[in-house]
Amino acid sequence: MRIVPLFAEVCVRNRVVSVLLSGVFLLGILAAPATAQQPTSAQEYDLSAAALYDAVLNEWNEASNVGIHFDVSKRFLQGTTMNVAGVGEVGFNHFENYTLSSYFGGVRFAGNYSARFSPFAQFLLGAEHCCDSTNFAIQPGVGVDVPWKPQFAIRGQVDWRHVYTDLDDADGLRISVGVVFPLNR
């Protein structure tokens, strides 16, 4: 009988939609800084660290119960409208009976044409480890950083992960929200 998997798919789909709508709402509120508030300068994010809660990671036909990932980025090219940074990321996502760990590195392209937000696209390569097995994975993603206080920015991020295995490759959608801190103050 397919009722339980269908129910799980509907619950995951509803969870994804609610997280996306909540993220759009929060970004809309945070995009307009208060008049007395000074937005964080793009110069301060030459070297930054981020901690993000993974609200959703659907992979291997399951949804993660809880997850978190951390990244560190270092800008190495700065243009008038775009920056390029190297990125390293470590993540952990717990499913019902196991925990996935992921280790990625790559490049992030971020727009710097607005003081209110900074959209970005990134492409990461690395490995996903679980259950005595480590597999090669790619993870392209998009997101936006919204300066909120002089000490940090809020980040919303969506990634798609493809894991190459010997038997059956896996695809996963990850939706995250968290904070970014400049490290070069």
Q: Where in the chain are the domains?
A: 3-182
**Residues 6+ positions from 99 with CB-CB distance below 8 Å:** 92, 93, 130
Residue 184 in this model has a pLDDT that exceeds 80: no
Residue 37 in this model has a pLDDT that exceeds 50: no
SS3 28: helix
Tell me the pLDDT tens digit for each residue of 100-109: 999 999 999 9
The most distant pair of C-alpha atoms in the chain lies apart, rounded to whole Å, by 59
Distance CA 67, CA 55 (A): 7
Give residue 147's Cα distance to chain centre.
16
Distance CA 37, CA 81 (A): 23
pLDDT at 31: 44
> Can you list the positions of beta strands (E) in 60-132?
62-63, 66-78, 82-94, 99-111, 118-130
Token pair for 32: 């307009």
The percentage of residues in the chain with a pLDDT greater than 70, rounded to a whole number, is 75
CA proximity to 182, closest of 159, 152, 158: 152
pLDDT at 158: 96
pTM of the model: 0.76
pLDDT at 125: 98
Domain 3-182 top-level CATH class:
mainly beta
